[in-house]
């Protein structure tokens, strides 16, 4: 795989994702998918992992070696969870900032989610979805960029694509930040496994909290979300942002220390230093026409939703 093929992969993912959304919105062909959150998750993630697998097979690339699926220490896995939790306040700040301009997409789906068993949602949202997205974005796309361009350029571009792929302003912002965090974990460990653990932790925590809130609301999750959104004005959102900015100012530097410990423990401390030095390297050309087309489609969908 190289950057050009990775760009074609992104365009295919975007086109299939957007095409699926159009079919759901304007036809009755996929009404069962729209009404069933489990089918929704399964089908939408297929448009991500299936193109990635097909591209790897078509190029004769071994997924395990190319995507850096090497084992890590158990202590690294545990510290990865801590690192993820320490990054949560900063992610929340970005999420809250987007709510000044758009709705919370995940909260809008909460009614359907809590109607299913918790174990089923954890399997779909915290295991299946992270596996699909990590294979495509920190695996196939990021590794292709990493081989051809500078490390920081590869991290930023693959993270931008990860954010845009969600095709809504709310998720695009914090998914971009998460993409950077997950790619840094890959660089700090030489493996995608910690990135999957972190992704699992983020999605799993939000799912468990959603079910907990539903329990406190006696099953009235949809009404609770509606009341919360109606009572949240700009002032309330800025208050939330202020609180989490304070938390992030304390937790994010600690997260950086944990990441440095992970890199040192796994033997990638010098690689992380080299990654920072690579910001001055030009590297190979990563942009191409398929990538630009994929980005334009994502931006167009996001703008249409806002308007």
Q: pLDDT tens for residues 253-285?
A: 999 999 999 999 999 998 888 887 776 666 668
Model pLDDT, residue 61? 78
User: 277 — phi, psi (to 5°)?
Assistant: -70, -25
- Cβ atoms of 259 and 188 within 8 Å: the answer is yes
User: 99 — phi, psi (to 5°)?
Assistant: -70, -10
Quote helix, strand, coil % in the chain, to nearest 5: 85, 0, 15
Model pLDDT, residue 219? 60
Q: Which two tokens stand for residue 89?
A: 């306040």
Does pTM surpass 0.85? yes
Model pLDDT, residue 24? 66
Residue 194: pLDDT band by 50, 70, 90 thresholds?
very high
Residues 6+ apart with CB under 8 A from 288: 3, 4, 7
Residue 228: pLDDT band by 50, 70, 90 thresholds?
low
- Candidates 161, 199, 178; CA nearest to 17 is 161
User: 101 — phi, psi (to 5°)?
Assistant: -120, -20
State what percent of residues in the chain have pLDDT above 70: 87
What are 132-164's pLDDT values in tens digits? 999 999 999 999 998 876 788 899 999 999 999
Residue 30: pLDDT band by 50, 70, 90 thresholds?
low
- Cβ atoms of 305 and 169 within 8 Å: the answer is yes
Model pLDDT, residue 249? 96
* Residue 263 CB burial class (10 angstroms; 0-12, 13-18, ≥19): buried
Q: Which two tokens stand for residue 172?
A: 């695009």
Model pLDDT, residue 84? 96
What are 86-139's pLDDT values in tens digits? 999 999 999 989 888 887 777 667 778 888 888 888 999 999 999 999 999 999
Model pLDDT, residue 229? 60
Mean per-residue pLDDT of the chain: 86
**Can you tell me the distance from the alpha carbon of 216 to that of 213, in angstroms, rounded to the nearest whole number?**
5
Model pLDDT, residue 216? 73
Position 184 pLDDT exceeds 90: yes
């Amino acid at each position: 795989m190289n950057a050009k093929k990775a760009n074609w992969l992104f365009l295919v993912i975007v086109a299939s994702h957007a095409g699926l959304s159009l079919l759901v919105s304007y036809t009755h062909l996929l009404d069962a998918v729209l009404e069933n959150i489990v089918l929704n998750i399964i089908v939408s993630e297929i448009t991500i992992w299936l193109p990635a697998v097909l591209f790897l097979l078509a190029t004769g690339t071994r997924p395990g070696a190319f995507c850096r699926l090497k084992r890590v220490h158990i202590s690294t896995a545990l510290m990865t969870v801590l690192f993820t939790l320490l990054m949560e306040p900063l992610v929340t700040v970005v999420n809250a900032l987007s709510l000044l301009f758009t709705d919370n997409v995940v909260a809008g789906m909460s009614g359907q989610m809590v109607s299913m068993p918790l174990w089923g949602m954890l399997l779909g949202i915290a295991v299946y979805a992270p596996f699909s997205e990590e294979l495509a974005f920190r695996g196939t796309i990021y590794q292709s960029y990493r081989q051809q361009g500078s490390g920081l350029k590869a991290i930023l571009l693959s993270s931008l694509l990860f954010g845009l792929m969600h095709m809504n302003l709310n998720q695009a912002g914090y998914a971009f930040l998460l993409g950077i965090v997950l790619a840094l974990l890959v660089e700090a460990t030489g493996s995608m496994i910690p990135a999957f653990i972190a992704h699992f932790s983020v999605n799993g925590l939000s799912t468990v909290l959603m079910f907990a809130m539903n329990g406190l609301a006696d099953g009235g999750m949809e009404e609770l979300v509606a009341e919360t959104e109606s009572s949240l004005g700009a002032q309330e959102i800025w208050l939330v942002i202020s609180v989490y900015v304070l938390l992030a100012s304390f937790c994010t530097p600690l997260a950086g220390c944990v990441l440095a410990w992970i890199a040192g423990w796994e033997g990638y401390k010098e690689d992380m230093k080299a990654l920072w030095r690579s910001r001055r390297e030009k590297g190979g050309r990563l942009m191409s026409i398929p990538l630009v087309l994929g980005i334009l489609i994502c931006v167009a969908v996001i703008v249409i939703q806002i308007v």
